[in-house]
Every structure is written in C-alpha cells, then in structure tokens.
C-alpha cells in the first residue's frame, strides 16, 4: 500500500487550478495556430489572431485566459493500492480549489444552491469524479469549465433505430443550435452508450482528451473526422464571424449500452478548452 498525503493532493490541485487558467494546453494552442494558418476568410483569420494574442498575453503576464475561470471539474483515477493519509480525499480536493482560486485571483463562479443562487465565494465545491484503477498512483485531471459552452451541451436517449445517422445529425444539430454562444472555435466531446448518467460523463471525458489523440477504433476515428468536417461546414466561424473554423476537434468516447437504448451526449467546450493532468 502506498501512502499519499491529503495535503499533497491539496497542493497539487491548487497549482493545477492556477496553471490551467493561465496556460492553454499545447494541443489546443497548436490547433488554434494551425487553424489560423489555414483559415481563408479574413475576419475569421483576424479573430483567430486575436485569440492567439490573448493566450500569449495571459501566459506572459500570468493572467487568466478568460474572465470565466470556470467551475472546477476534477477527475481522479486512484490506484487500488493507494492509501490517503491525514485527511479526506474529497475535502483535500475542495481545499486545493479554494486555495487555487484565491491565490490565483481567479473569478469565483459557483453558487451554493441552483435556485437560491448565493455565491459560495471560493469557487467550491468542485465537481469530482473518481475511478478506481489498478496500481499505486493517483492521477488528477483538472478541467475548469466555463458555462457559456457548458450551457450549449445536450443529451438525448435515442431508440436504437436512430443508429449512426441519428447520432451524427444530433452532434451537428447541437453545434448549429449553439452557434456563436459557446465562444467558438469549439471542441466537441461526444459520449455514446452506457446509461443516462454515464453518457454525460463519457462526453466530458472526451472533452478532456487531447485533441491530438483520435479514438483508437477506426470506425469512431473516421466518425470524428467526418463530424469535424460537417461542423466546420456550418460556417459559424471563430466567435461567430463566419469562416471554416467552427470546431477544433470532435472527440468521441463510447461504452456498451442496453439493447433498448442509444444514449448520446454532446458536451461543448470553447476555444479556452482547459485540461491539465498530473500524477502523484
């Protein structure tokens, strides 16, 4: 059994919340640069140039890339041979978020109750998902999630007869309905299969996967490529100014499902698709 202290989890989460909000991950920044080079429509190219300038300023001046520094989505893969010492794992994570958002001067965007809406003042609680995995490591993924894009996400429980066409059309329709609202160019995380709750998690995990990594199943990596092309043909463009760069990537994650169902979830992220991973 390997021991990991709750305080080291707090320290790591604190550091990751700050870094994630200041420095865009390499895969996203590279995709934006690549789209800038290939975008033929002048207003779109100009907009992508401004997004690049914005991310460079944020990194150099240690400022948040966007004013919406998000609700902290935290994914923990905990090895079954890990023992957390000196405190409660979830409380250690919340404390890391609390300190990160205070020390990084990041906007506090969480309300304690969804209807009575009083700000908690410290960006907690985080949304925490844990998976138990083999081994003696603890892997933390931090993805601060802005709600301009989260609000544009959709979930549907299709009958199986809707099939591949139904899934693809739902993804494209979701991007169309979203239009300029999620601050494009967007990243689209698609979950297919599982149950009502699992499919939403699949879509979120798809969003947190590097846009450089394609689905290992060729059937789905071909679908990712086709959907990216179809979404980019909509013509929403960067920040809604038209052009061919509406999406940076479409990532699909799947899970077995029931004979009577075909759950599909589409989770949208903006050009500030923050994800950072570390292993303790």
List residues binding ligand SF4 (CB under 6 A): 66, 68, 146, 148-149, 182-183, 270, 272
169 C-beta neighbours (distance < 10 Å), count: 12
Q: How far is the CB of 184 from ligand SF4 (least distance, A)?
A: 9
User: What is the chain's alpha carbon radius of gyration, rounded to the nearest angstrom?
Assistant: 19
Sheet of 127-133: strand order equals 127-133, 71-79, 138-145, 276-279
Q: How far is the CB of 51 from ligand SF4 (least distance, A)?
A: 9
As a whole number of angstroms, the distance between CA 31 and CA 40 comes to 16
Measured at CB, which residue is nearest to ligand SF4?
Answer: 146
Give CA torsion, residues 213, 219, 220, 226, to 10 deg.
Answer: 100
Q: How far is the CB of 182 from ligand SF4 (least distance, A)?
A: 5
Kindly tell me which of 25 and 79 has the beta carbon lying closer to ligand SF4: 25
Fill in the DSSP letter of residue 183.
Answer: -
Kindly tell me which of 78 and 187 has the beta carbon lying closer to ligand SF4: 187
Kindly tell me which of 68 and 95 has the beta carbon lying closer to ligand SF4: 68
Kindly tell me which of 154 and 198 has the beta carbon lying closer to ligand SF4: 154
Q: How far is the CB of 215 from ligand SF4 (least distance, A)?
A: 24
Q: How far is the CB of 101 from ligand SF4 (least distance, A)?
A: 14
Kindly tell me which of 192 and 236 has the beta carbon lying closer to ligand SF4: 236
């Amino acid at each position: 059994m390997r021991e990991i202290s709750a305080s080291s989890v707090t320290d790591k989460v604190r550091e990751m919340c700050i870094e994630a909000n200041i420095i865009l991950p390499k895969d996203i920044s590279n995709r934006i640069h690549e789209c800038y080079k290939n975008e033929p429509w002048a207003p779109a190219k100009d907009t992508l140039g401004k997004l690049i300038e914005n991310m460079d300023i944020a990194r150099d001046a240690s400022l948040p890339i966007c004013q919406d520094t998000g609700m902290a989505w935290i994914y923990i893969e905990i090895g079954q041979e890990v023992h957390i010492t000196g405190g409660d794992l979830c409380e250690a994570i919340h404390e890391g978020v609390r300190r990160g958002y205070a020390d990084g001067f990041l906007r506090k965007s969480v309300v304690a109750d969804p209807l009575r809406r009083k700000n908690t003042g410290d960006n907690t609680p985080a949304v925490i998902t844990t998976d138990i995995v083999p081994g003696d490591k603890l892997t933390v993924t931090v993805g601060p999630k802005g709600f301009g894009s989260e609000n544009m996400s959709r979930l549907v429980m299709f009958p199986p007869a809707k099939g591949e066409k139904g899934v693809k059309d739902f993804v494209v329709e979701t991007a169309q309905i979203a239009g300029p609202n999620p601050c494009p160019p967007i990243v689209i995380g698609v979950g297919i299969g599982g149950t009502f709750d699992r499919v939403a998690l699949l879509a979120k995990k798809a969003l947190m996967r590097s846009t450089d990594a394609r689905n290992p199943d060729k059937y789905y990596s071909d679908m990712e490529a086709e959907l990216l092309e179809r979404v980019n043909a909509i013509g929403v463009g960067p920040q809604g100014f038209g052009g061919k760069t509406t999406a940076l990537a479409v990532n699909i994650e799947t899970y077995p499902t029931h004979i009577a169902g075909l759950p599909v979830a589409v989770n949208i992220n903006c050009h500030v698709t923050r994800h950072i991973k570390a292993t303790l």
